[in-house]
Structure 1
Amino acid sequence: MAFEALGEILDETLKLPVKDKVYVVPPPSAATGLRVQAIMQAAAVAADGGKIDDAVLADAAERDMYRDVLGTAHAEMVADDVAWPTLKHCAVTAMVWIVQNKDSAERYWNSGGDPSRLAPNRQQRRSSSAAANKTRSRGSSSGTKPHQGNRAGGKKRAPRQ
């Protein structure tokens, strides 16, 4: 068995629908992909209160990251005069795609960039917690039976009248 060409088995583009047009984001170069990975990792470290690698962030500041991650779609969006929030959402979606995968990028896209909308909706949370509440807990695994009204010495209490 021989390896198939990746272009034939992988869709290496990201298709972003904006109003009446679909912008096709080509796959990033290896250098762009590695740079985005490093920047996103530095951002995650910073978000957790860690020390930021100034060299990584300086590299990002030197280049137009949105142009790089959107590729040819960037020029199309600028020519079509899309709004800044739209271009930004497209670029961040592309970064999620580069760092994670298409499924994650789709979830980010559909959330409108709102982290609270990435969580399951209220109905899903309710049905999940309802199912969890119906799950019976396991019994004791210590091998002892729970106390069932026996007094010390094994005598049972007389029923109250």
Structure 2
Amino acid sequence: MKEFERKRLLERVNREGATVGADIPDRIDVQGEEIDLRQFVFEIKRRDTIPPGEKERVDTAKKNLRRERLQRFQKIENNQVSYEEGEKLVESIIGIDRALNALESLRPTDLNQEAELQEAADKKRWMNFLRQALGRDDSGGRMRR
């Protein structure tokens, strides 16, 4: 593959909005295992939240998809494939990105835990703000300016 072709393929993968209008592949080989990716994503997405029993399964799927995406990207980046193979890899990478976007947009079902975590983060930000505003360090003494 020529250098300009390789750069064009990499640019397509990294393009902002590359997944807009892209389809999630029906089936894909991820880490040596053939999975029905579209069916899996739609099955999980239909619920709009991640059920507690499915969280580990979804997290594992996302991790494996990210790993597979990286391996495919590196084949193009390292110029290990022909331009035609690179075209197919780009399409599959964009499909993987589309599936990851769909899975990332799901909310956990434990909204109480999420609210508690958000409240704790808000309190921490508030305390940091007060320390800075009052000119105090963590030991309770005044900060030098």
TM-score of Structure 1 vs Structure 2, range by shorter chain: under 0.3
TM-score of the pair, normalised by structure 1? 0.24
Structure that is richer in helix per residue? 2
Q: What is the TM-score when the length of structure 2 is the normalising length?
A: 0.26
- Point out the structure with max Rg over C-alpha: 1
